[in-house]
Amino acid sequence: MRALLSVSDKSGIVEFAKALSELGWEIISTGGTYKKLKENGIEVIEIDEVTKFPECFEGRVKTLNPYVHGGILYKRDNPSHQQQAKELGVEGIDLVCVNLYPFKETIDRTDDFDEIIENIDIGGPTMVRSSAKNFKDVIVVTSPKDYERVIEALREDKNSLEFRRDLMIKAFEHTASYDSMIANYMNDRFKDNFGEHRFIVGKKVFDTRYGENPHQNGALYQFGDFFSKNFHTIKGEASFNNLTDINGAVKIASSFGDERAICIVKHGNPCGFAIKDTLLDSYTQALKCDPVSAFGGVVAVNGVVDGELAKKMNEIFLEVIIAGDFTDEAIEIFSSKKRLKLFSQKSPTLKVAKDKFDFKHIEGGFVFQDSDCICDNEVRNAKVVSENGASITQAKDLEIAWKVAGLTKSNCVVYVKDGAMVAVGMGMTSRVDASICALRKAKEVGVDVTGAVMASEAFFPFRDSIDAAAKAGVSAIIEPGGSIRDDEVIQAANEHGIALYFTGVRHFLH
Cβ-proximal residues to 189 (8 Å cutoff; 6+ apart), any chain: 113
| CA angle 426–431–433, rounded 5-degree value | 80
Across 86-211, where does the E strand assignment appear? 95-99, 139-141, 203-207
Residue type, 329: E
Cβ-proximal residues to 376 (8 Å cutoff; 6+ apart), any chain: 399
Please say whether the beta carbons of 65 and 91 come within 8 A. no
Please say whether the beta carbons of 325 and 301 come within 8 A. no
Measured between alpha carbons, how far is 477 from 395 in angstroms, rounded to an integer? 10
| CA angle 410–413–414, rounded 5-degree value | 125
Query: Is 145 one of the catalytic residues?
Result: no
Measured between alpha carbons, how far is 290 from 304 in angstroms, rounded to an integer? 23
Query: Is 496 one of the catalytic residues?
Result: no
Of residues 10, 18, 133, 311, which has the active-site annotation?
A: 133
Of residues 267, 311, 312, 351, which has the active-site annotation?
A: 267
Measured between alpha carbons, how far is 463 from 74 in angstroms, rounded to an integer? 77
Please say whether the beta carbons of 413 and 454 come within 8 A. yes
Measured between alpha carbons, how far is 430 from 436 in angstroms, rounded to an integer? 10
Residue by residue, DSSP assigns 381-431 as: TPEE-SSS---HHHHHHHHHHHHHHHTSPSS-EEEEETTEEEEEE-S-SSH
Please say whether the beta carbons of 325 and 309 come within 8 A. no
From the number of C-beta atoms within 10 Å of its C-beta (0-12, 13-18, 19+), residue 503 rates as buried
From the number of C-beta atoms within 10 Å of its C-beta (0-12, 13-18, 19+), residue 193 rates as middle
Please say whether the beta carbons of 477 and 502 come within 8 A. no
Please say whether the beta carbons of 431 and 408 come within 8 A. no
Please say whether the beta carbons of 421 and 445 come within 8 A. no
Q: Using CA atoms in the order 475, 478, 479, 485, what is the torsion angle rounded to 10 degrees?
A: 40
* Omega within 30 of 0 (cis) for the link into 411: yes
Cβ-proximal residues to 78 (8 Å cutoff; 6+ apart), any chain: none
Q: Using CA atoms in the order 387, 443, 434, 254, what is the torsion angle rounded to 10 degrees?
A: 80
Task: Return the DSSP state at 371.
Answer: P
Residues annotated as part of the active site: 133, 267
